[in-house]
Chains A and B, each alone.
Chain A
Amino acid sequence: MAFNATLETNNDTATITLSGELDASTAPQFKAEVEKAATQGAKRLVLMMQDLEYMASAGLRVLIFTKQKMGASADIYVVGAQEMVLDTINKTGFNQGVIIQDEYSPL
């Protein structure tokens, strides 16, 4: 399935919905959306991952970038990640300092 990343902004909340396979060739698209969200000054970034089927190291690198780009005061939500994707996130430590949820529910 082709990769897709779409950004929606609502007040302080930016939501990026990811689908398909996030790898080295598609990671720049994701990164561009993150940069847009950061520029718009979002305080909360929600990554909807229900339809994300695969994430390679390049995708994880963008997640790391995301956290550093958004700054410590922004909350990052990882929502509905499939088991394989979530497992990779956990093993590489990206689960630290982000909010992992099955369904989006702002804290």
Chain B
Amino acid sequence: MVFARIDIQPTHTYGDFKLRRGRPFPFGATLVPGGVNFSIFSSHAKSCTLVLFKKHAKEPMAEIPFPDEFRIGNVFCTIVFDLDYENIEYGYRMEGPFNPKEGHWFDSSKILMDPYAKVIGGRDVWGVTPDWNDIYHHRARIVLDDFDWENDRPLEIPPEDMVVYEMHVRSFTRHPSSQVKHPGTFAAIRDKIPYLKELGVNAIELMPVYEFDEFENSRPNPQNPDELLVNYWGYSTVGFFAPKAGYAATGKIGMQVDELKTLVKELHKNGLEVILDVVFNHTAEGNEYGPTISFRGVDNKTYYMLTPEGYYFNFSGCGNTLNCNNPIVRNIVLDCLRYWASEYHIDGFRFDLASILGRDPSGAPLANPPLLETLAFDPILAKCKLIAEAWDAGGLYQVGSFPAFGRWAEWNGKYRDSIRKFIKGDGTVGDIAQRLQGSPDLYAWEGRGPATSINFITAHDGFTLLDLVSYNGKHNEANGENNNDGSNDNDSWNCGWEGPTDDAGINALRRRQIKNAVAILMVSTGVPMILMGDEVGRTQYGNNNTYCHDNELNWLDWTLLEQNADLFRFFKNCIAFRNAHPVLRSKYHFSNSDYMGSGYADITWHGTKAWNADWSASCRTIAMMLCGKHAKAGTVEDNYVYVAMNMHWEGLWFEIPGLRDGMKWHVFANTGATAPNDIWSPGQEPVLENQHGMLVGDRSVVILVGK
């Protein structure tokens, strides 16, 4: 016989509320039989009060102090019974010292958001002006975990087989031309899955989707007083566990969790992984002058890196720095990632300014940062991709030396810089050879494979690909900072005129340069990543830092798909070619030897003369051949691939290495030819007329396939 449980009976009362001693774990608000378990820690608070609101209500409906006996260590925990958990919002007041010099900012007049809030109300619909007099702006709510995942789970695509598409949730479909029902939302991305599949990418990387406040630091646009400059990109986290409500068409009814999960599930069904760009380097609370939303009021000294005088260290360039190697903060980062991996089936994470995660509480870089090690060995994150942006705004640059623990991949900033220089004609062939083969100079010495290298030429920071070939310098006046923001090191070349032009010659050269870039990217060993819209020639009019614009500087104009159909076709075929040829997707670095007995080494280098690469500093040409018998370390058979890159200003005759066994070279791509003769569908390539050599046009790339 089973008795009714007695461990879920109230033991205390406060006013009309029935309480029981809570469980310290898990932190946050958790549904338990009969009620909700609230648990929050603070190393320095003296006491804590739970504040309950009816959803959207201006004033609290109740304030329940945690009885002294409900505190365990530094954790306040209580169960409140019979709460209408779907219709409440909750926060906390913390009592403790206010002494910024000592690092303490307690102020019990402020209602604080739970750092573990799983749903956050208050900015339910994007861009709706908040009530600035609200006593509680970002309102923690309680989440239900009843989503029906059916048979879904993360896809676990081998990293070396990925092609990543970096996108901003709102920008992708906000433009009126997107023709979706709910522009700028998670639901709208779902409507565009067929487009992503046609392009051929198999992973999307979403710029921050954690709850942020688009109104943070908002100000009138100096060029258009009717418009606000806002925190558009969202690299400023309000809550690490909650999806951005304003990105959900259902945010106004509080269903953003379900909408995002539905998107993930649907992407998985279509063979696409989801990588989140996560920002653990700082929060939306800014410096001494910023708002107190949560961490500052809950436990400032624990959460932030502080100078000995109590000021905020600013390694992020955004006012404060999360104290990532404090053991408590390490745990919240771990809890957060585990939550997204298990509850949202997220396939991987890209860590913004990840080098900060390797600094100690005083800011000094650590040799073996515990946080990075913990994430690398965590059992729940074991199959997740972990990708570091291996630098920070405090001057730490760790491309090639990020503490990897055998797990971490890196945004390869050196790949970006080398390819940009090469394409604009700066030579650097020795460097290029390293980048094309997965940057063994950076990674092989430590036993890190080529998929460590996330290869990209453009990303959200910096020029779009079209702008990279249309502007010599940045044009950030619209950001309202006198063009002082954004990077000055763009390695860009405008091809003869700054900005848009009617000059047919310049426009043709720009098109060719775009094709050169993607052709090189898609034959490079490593993991290619493309920036949303580059495949259709998106421009930001020379702005290389559009973080604050909710307008056409960021929105993808879908009419470009028609205008620049040849670019889309070129991208699509390049990606299809990569997907069709395992020889391009090696898990291991090349050995420069013929271990398969094919008569060819796995990779060989050539110049205008076959077998004779010119490695001199002034050289602007290089050719590479990959032996199909060595594909995937010789475990699968593939065709041979030969790539000739001529970044000289004149066309040059390239002698081509001969093939054996009656195989012939076929032309897959030639950026020197005009569409539709610039590229073929994989498998449809015509035979090359002269099997011994060919003219490669000025600033052009030719890709041959030997079969």
Contact = CB atoms under 8 A, between A and B. Distances in A.
B147 A24 contact: no
B182 to A, nearest CB: 7
Nearest to B261: A93
Interface string A51-77: 000001110110011011000000000
A67 B148 contact: yes
Nearest to A54: B253
Interface in B47-91: 84, 86-87
Given A24-B87, A91-B262, A68 B253 contact: no
A75 to B, nearest CB: 15
Interface in B76-119: 84, 86-87
B86 A57 contact: yes
Contacts of A58: 86
Given A57-B86, A67-B148, A92-B258, A87 B181 contact: yes
A92 B146 contact: no
B596 interface: no
B366 to A, nearest CB: 42
A88 interface: yes
A60 B249 CA distance: 15
A26 to B, nearest CB: 12
Nearest to A92: B258
A60 B258 contact: yes
B146 A64 contact: yes
Interface in A64-107: 64-65, 67-68, 87-88, 90-93, 96-97
A57 B245 CA distance: 14
B663 interface: no
A88 B253 contact: yes
B299 interface: no
B146 A65 contact: yes
A99 B55 CA distance: 33
Interface string A23-59: 0100000000000000000000000000000001110
Contacts of A56: 253
Task: Give me the 10 closest cross-chain CB pairs, A-B, nearest first.
Answer: A93-B262, A92-B258, A91-B187, A24-B86, A57-B255, A64-B146, A91-B250, A57-B253, A92-B255, A91-B249
Interface of B: 84, 86-87, 144, 146-148, 150, 181-182, 187, 248-250, 253-255, 258-259, 261-262, 265-266
B512 to A, nearest CB: 42
- Chain A CB within 10 Å, residue with most, of B144, B254, B255, B265: B255
Contact of B150 (A87, A88, A96): A96
A42 B669 CA distance: 60
A60 B258 CA distance: 10
Contacts of A93: 147-148, 258-259, 261-262, 265-266
Contacts of A64: 146-148
A56 B254 CA distance: 9
Given A90-B187, A91-B187, A91-B259, 15 more contacts: A24-B84, A56-B253, A57-B250, A57-B254, A61-B86, A64-B148, A68-B148, A91-B182, A91-B255, A92-B259, A93-B261, A93-B262, A93-B265, A96-B265, A97-B148
A95 to B, nearest CB: 9
A24 B259 CA distance: 19
B147 A88 contact: no
B535 to A, nearest CB: 27
Contacts of B150: 96-97
B393 to A, nearest CB: 37
Nearest to A90: B187
B122 to A, nearest CB: 16
Contacts of A61: 86, 144, 146
Contact of B255 (A60, A68, A96, A97): A60
A58 B259 CA distance: 15
29 contacts: A24-B84, A56-B253, A57-B86, A57-B250, A57-B253, A57-B255, A58-B86, A60-B255, A60-B258, A61-B144, A61-B146, A64-B147, A67-B148, A87-B181, A88-B253, A88-B255, A91-B182, A91-B249, A91-B250, A91-B259, A91-B262, A92-B262, A93-B147, A93-B258, A93-B259, A93-B261, A96-B148, A96-B150, A96-B265
A67 B149 CA distance: 12
B419 to A, nearest CB: 40
A90 B182 CA distance: 12
B261 to A, nearest CB: 7
- Chain A CB within 10 Å, residue with most, of B181, B253, B259, B265: B253
A91 B180 CA distance: 12
Nearest to A56: B253
A4 B102 CA distance: 60
Contacts of A87: 181
A97 B262 CA distance: 13
B585 to A, nearest CB: 32
A91 B77 CA distance: 35
Contacts of A91: 182, 187, 248-250, 255, 259, 262
Nearest to A27: B86
A93 B146 CA distance: 12
A57 B254 CA distance: 7
A68 B146 contact: yes
Contacts of B249: 91
Contacts of B259: 91-93
Contacts of B250: 57, 88, 91-92
A81 B261 CA distance: 23
A57 to B, nearest CB: 5
Contacts of B147: 64, 93
A58 B315 CA distance: 43
A58 B182 CA distance: 22
Contacts of A90: 187
A64 B144 CA distance: 11
Contacts of B144: 61
Contacts of B261: 93
B142 to A, nearest CB: 12
Contacts of A57: 86, 250, 253-255
Contacts of B255: 57, 60, 88, 91-92
A90 to B, nearest CB: 8
Contacts of A92: 250, 255, 258-259, 262
A96 B147 CA distance: 12
Nearest to B265: A93
B421 to A, nearest CB: 46
A58 B141 CA distance: 14
A37 B182 CA distance: 35
A98 B656 CA distance: 59
B677 to A, nearest CB: 43
- Chain A CB within 10 Å, residue with most, of B84, B249, B258: B258
A43 B262 CA distance: 26
Contacts of A96: 148, 150, 262, 265
A93 B250 CA distance: 11
A103 B259 CA distance: 27
A93 B187 CA distance: 9
Contacts of B258: 60, 92-93
